[in-house]
Structures are given as structure tokens and as C-alpha cells.
Structure 1
Amino acid sequence: MSLPTQMRFIDLPSFGAPDVMRIATEPLPVPGEGQLLVRTEAIGVNRPDVAQRQGIYPPPKDASPVLGLEMAGEIVAVGAGVRDFAVGDKVCGLTNGGAYAEYCLLPAGQALRFPKGYDAVKAAALPENYFTVWANMFQMAGLTEGETVLVHGGSSGIGTTAIQLARSFGAKVYATAGSQEKCDACVKLGAKRAINYKTEDFAEVIKAETGHGVDIILDMIGAAYFERNLASLAKDGCLSIIAFLGGAVAEKVNLAPIMVKRLTITGSTLRPRTAEEKRAIRDDLLSQVWPLLDEGKLAPVIDTVVPFENVAEAHRRMETSGHIGKIMLRL
């Protein structure tokens, strides 16, 4: 296969509003050991991309400075030591940056073949959310059949994924969202009850609904919800924090419920995890989740698909928080 020597990518010459992003060209990357070079067909837009563009979420030192954490496309070259994939395979994956480009380096241990019947847009909508939800809700919080989960931001890409996954593995799910339309979407995906956080106190609703609280809370709000999250957990419950959209510093919080109810508080970010940790998540997804995607029992919720060149429009859509599900770029 004859490859070009140059590729287009989304450059970030300075931090700021969506319009600071520019299309530029640079040499095609060369896959190293254990890497795939993928011709990008679709890209998922995520809040970390927005934060990186704003200058508040710098990439790790060994990561590409180019935006983008997930993509899907066709393998055009493989590095040394790659045995599970070949040129021509269609894959999606969790990148270490660099997805906002016509070609992207993807670690083979973070790559997954398209589920049955999927095109690139649907496949690219999977990695970031499924890696994040599986690592935090299943590996760390230990969700098991019969437990009860509260998912904050239920209409987001993370939220729509968490609702479906928890239901598929036998959990009862509650969710919060910011409008009736978003709450209806959460219920349609399998939530037993969706709570409009603008008109209801989720802690009061959870107490009324369950009597004793939920076993796990998947939280992307942080400080603004911390005390009410503690109140909403049942004995031996776990609060899993994955973002701080409501602030990272909680002040004057009553910590007594942690001791009285034997609560666990955990959290993680995906990007700094080691290659081995990411491969372990990928392997779990391959064995536990990909069969459900193949069978159509799970599916990404896609809000908007815009051309690669209109990346600023995609970021503006993300910043409005008006979306339900994923915002995608298509090449």
C-alpha cells in the first residue's frame, strides 16, 4: 500500500476558544514496536479534548500533543512485534493522543476490531467511554449483578454507556440529567428512574426510591455533589469519581458517613494509566463486552456527526452540554 508522506491534523497553535484550532499538515508518523498506523475514518470528541484545548489538561510527556483520545479506521502499517492485527483490519481504539488527524498511531494493546455490523462512526464512539466505565464501575467499584447504581450525567457519552452496561450486567440503575428530554433518554436506555437535577434533589429521590441508598455512584461532578453522594450511598457503598465538572475541592463536608456506612471512595483518570493497565481493560472489554455489542444488546448513542474540518462546531456543541450521547468527527 502506497502511503502519503504528509497528513492533515488539527493543530492547536494556542489555548483558547474552539476557533483557535486549525488544520495543518505534518509528516506521516511511523509505527514503532507494538504500534499500529491507522488511516482515520472517524473520531470521538470528549471533554478531555476540550480541557486540553483550553490549556487545563496537558497531555502526558510521552503522549502526542495532538488532540484526540479515540478513533476508528483501517490499519495501513504495523510495527515490530504486532501479531494480533494486520494491514487492512478495521479497528477502533484508545489512543495516547493524536486522534485528530488523517493517520494515527494506536498501541496494539488498546485496539479492538469493529463489532459486527459497525461502521467507523459507531466504532469510534466506543473506546473512551467503554474503557472508562469498565475500569471505574466494574474493575474498581466491583459492580455485580443485583446491585444498585446511580450514574450522574446520564445523558452524556459516559452516562449512556454506564446505564447500558450496568443494566446488561444485572444492576438496577438510577441517573441524573438536566432536562426532561435527557431524563427520558436515560429511562429509554434502561434507567429505572431519571432525576432532573435542576428541579429535584437527587439525594432525596434516591432515599425515597431505595430506602437505604445505592451501592455504587459513578460521578463526574465532584465537589458540588460530594456530601449528597455520601448521603445517597448504602452501607459498604462505593463512590467512583471520574471528573470534577462541579469542582475539585470540597469544603466543610461531614465525613462521618464514610465511617458509619463503611464507604469506599475511589477515582481514576484513564490517560496516565500504563500500557499494561490499558491492555488489561481492553482484554476485559474484548471478552465481556464486545460479544454484547456484536449481538446488538449494547450500542453507542450518537448525538452529532460533523466533518473533520468543522471540529470547532463539535467543540462548541460539547461546551453547551446540550448533547445526548457522543459527538463525532467524520473524515
Structure 2
Amino acid sequence: MTLGLDLGLETRAPDFAAAVREATDGRGADLAIDTVGGSVFAECVRALGFQGRLAMVGYVDGVLQAELDLEALHARRLHLFGVSNKLRTPQQRAEPVPGFRTDWLPLFADGRLRPVVDRVFRFEDLAQAKASMEQAEHLGKIVLAGSED
């Protein structure tokens, strides 16, 4: 299956910055999106290039503290920011919906953008789906389907 990537790197372990630098001819990444959490935060910072941006989206590892290299932050003029919907009101969460409908739904409709579904579980198999997710056995989304009568 092709995912449209020029290069895929394993980034769940905290030792990927060298591979990012090699893949970018030493420049580093323009943008890193950390969905893992504190266990890879410092490595994400190391992987960033000049004026690179790091978006903290989640912390599935449960690690809420991380080292911050202040010299790198200063010297490379890095931008660090958090992304969360947890404290947003329902109205704030709804604001991007019209843009999503306009900009993204047509791409799904005509097949230019396709979700990657790894596996579909019946709702009755929720525990098995959760175990699969927690063991990182999937590539793409895990979908729960309703019961068929």
C-alpha cells in the first residue's frame, strides 16, 4: 500500500532525529507533530530545523514532563505550540466544520483523499480493538462497526 510518503520513519522510539536530519540533507524538519507525548518531545525538538515548528497534539504515552533544550529553542528560533480541543466550547469546535466541508469533503468524494483503515472490529469486540490499538499493531485507523442483525 502506498501512503504518498517520500520517506517513512519510525518515531515512537526517542532516537529518530538523526534520520530526519539525514533525510533533509542536514536541515531538519519544518514541522513536527507530536501525538506521542513527553517520551519523544526532546527528540522532536532535536529533529527541527531553523524556525521549525513543533505541534504538541497529544500524550498517549502518559508522559507529561519533558526536557526542553533552551539553546536549540533560541538558536534555531523554534516555535512550540499546543493543539487541543479539550477546553474549547462546542461552538468553537464547530467553527472549522464549514471549511472542512468545502475544502476536504470533495477530496474524499472524488477519491483523491482516502482514509487508511487498518481493521474493522464489531462493536462487540471493543476490548479486542482496544488491545490492538494499545499494542500498536495497526497502521491507519481502527474502526468499530455496529452489530448486524
TM over 0.5: yes
Choose which of 124, 127, 130 in structure 2 pairs with 1:309: 124
- Give, in whole Å, the separation in 2 of the partners of 1:196 and 1:229: 12
Counterpart of 2:118 in 1: which secondary structure?
A: strand
Deviation at 1:198, TM superposition (A): 7.6
Counterpart of 1:194 in 2: which secondary structure?
A: coil
Question: Which residue does 1:248 correspond to in 2?
Answer: 64
Amino acid in the other structure paired with 1:219: D
Name the structure with the higher strand share. Answer: 1
Unaligned runs of 5+ in 1: 1-184
Per-residue CA deviations over 1:73-121 (Å, capped at 9, x if unaligned) read xxxxxxxxxxxxxxxxxxxxxxxxxxxxxxxxxxxxxxxxxxxxxxxxx
Counterpart of 1:193 in 2: which secondary structure?
A: coil
Matched, 1:280 2:98: no
Unaligned runs of 5+ in 2: none
Per-residue CA deviations over 1:202-238 (Å, capped at 9, x if unaligned) read 2101111212111111111222222221121122211
Deviation at 1:271, TM superposition (A): 3.6
- Give, in whole Å, the separation in 2 of the partners of 1:307 and 1:281: 31
Matched, 1:320 2:123: no
Deviation at 1:197, TM superposition (A): 4.5
Query: What percent identity do the matched residue pairs reach?
Result: 29
> Closer, same or farther in 2 for the Cα pair 1:236/1:245, shift >3 Å?
same
Choose which of 187, 193, 205 in structure 1 pairs with 2:7: 193
TM-score normalized with structure 1 length: 0.41
> Closer, same or farther in 2 for the Cα pair 1:194/1:280, shift >3 Å?
same
Name which one, 1 or 2, has greater alpha-carbon Rg. Answer: 1
Higher relative contact order (CA 8 A, sep 6+): 1
Deviation at 1:282, TM superposition (A): 1.3
Q: 1:29-40 residue pairs with structure 2 within 5 A?
A: none
Amino acid in the other structure paired with 1:249: Q
Choose which of 46, 70, 78 in structure 2 pairs with 1:263: 78
Deviation at 1:269, TM superposition (A): 2.1
Amino acid in the other structure paired with 2:136: S
- Residue-pair matches, total: 144
Q: Superposition RMSD on alpha carbons, in Å?
A: 2.1
- Give, in whole Å, the separation in 2 of the partners of 1:200 and 1:277: 34
Q: 1:211-226 residue pairs with structure 2 within 5 A?
A: 211-226=26-41
